[in-house]
Amino acid sequence: MDFLAEHQPELLPGNRQLPPTQGVIEAPHGTTIVAATFPGGVVLAGDRRATMGNVIAQRDIEKVFPADEYSAVGIAGTAGLAVEMVRLFQLELEHFEKVEGAQLSLEGKANRLSTMIRSNLGMAMQGLAVVPLFAGYDVDRAKGRIFSYDVTGGRSEEQGYAATGSGSIFARGAMKKLFRADLTEAEATTLVVQALYDAADDDSATGGPDVARRIYPIVTVITEDGFRRLGDDESSEIARSILERRLEQPDGPRAALL
């Protein structure tokens, strides 16, 4: 934010001087975020684990946040920095909306996030990277869209589905086989939880649904009606039904061979 840069530069993440360090700084890292579109909107979901090296730092971290009424951002990477980045991003969108009297376009929001990630490049090179996934409902085009980023702020729009974080390889594989263009909202939410389950299955840093502690993935849906986070009862329902099927078929649903 230009005003902040002029008046209180110390509040901006990119303006801090880092002391030279040896080796990797140990800080909690968030892991897997997945997103998928369906006709009429987009779903964005994340697991609940934060890790610090081989230790589970937090079991119930929240990594998916509403950015404004029509968009959400899920964060993978250094948790502390990522949460701050999201807070600043939310502030910027709201500030723009109030001053200009109109919302930023979805492209505009995605570009803004890109600049913020780039300003973090110095820290990313010291091992404190933040790599978010941005999803929103494009009011002008009347459809859900997903944007993924790399550490340098490079932005690319993803068609259909996307994943970021340490378990993203496995989540992407799962979604590749299960995704269809004509999913309903309920099917899309099931799809992303399936993908998170597969990520947790193969990646130690991603947490699966924790039935004993009642910690389930955060699932959010953005449609024409705006942002909605599924309640605990809804997400536990999805996680439990998946879990039940996996007791019979541990690898999950099978796609057709040909």
139 interacts with another protein by CB under 8 A: no
Structure tokens belonging to residue 184: 């309903």
101 interacts with another protein by CB under 8 A: yes
254 interacts with another protein by CB under 8 A: no
Q: What is the DSSP letter of 23?
A: S
Q: Is 31 a catalytic residue?
A: yes
98 interacts with another protein by CB under 8 A: yes
Q: Tell me the Cα Rg of the chain.
A: 18
- Strand, coil or helix: 60: coil
99 interacts with another protein by CB under 8 A: yes
Structure tokens belonging to residue 204: 């130690």
**Element holding 207 (H helix, E strand):** none
Out of 5, 56, 91, 186, name the contact with another protein by CB under 8 A: 91
Smallest separation, CB 105 to another protein (Å): 18
Q: Pairing mode, if any, of strands 226-229 and 29-30?
A: unpaired
Nearest CA among 18, 50, 16, 20 for reference residue 33: 50
Smallest separation, CB 206 to another protein (Å): 31
7 interacts with another protein by CB under 8 A: yes
CB neighbour list of residue 197: distance below 8 Å, 6 or more residues apart: 174, 208, 209, 239, 242, 246, 252
As beta bridge partners, residue 226 has 223
* From 96-104, 141-149, 150-158, 208-216, span contacting another protein (CB under 8 A): 96-104
Site string for another protein, 46-85 (x = CB under 8 A): ----------------------------------------
116 interacts with another protein by CB under 8 A: no
Q: Which is nearer to another protein, 80 or 160 (CB)?
A: 80
87 interacts with another protein by CB under 8 A: yes
In whole angstroms, give the CA distance from residue 203 to residue 187: 24
Active centre residues (catalytic): 31
List residues near another protein by CB under 8 A.
Answer: 3-4, 7-8, 11, 87-88, 91, 94-95, 98-99, 101
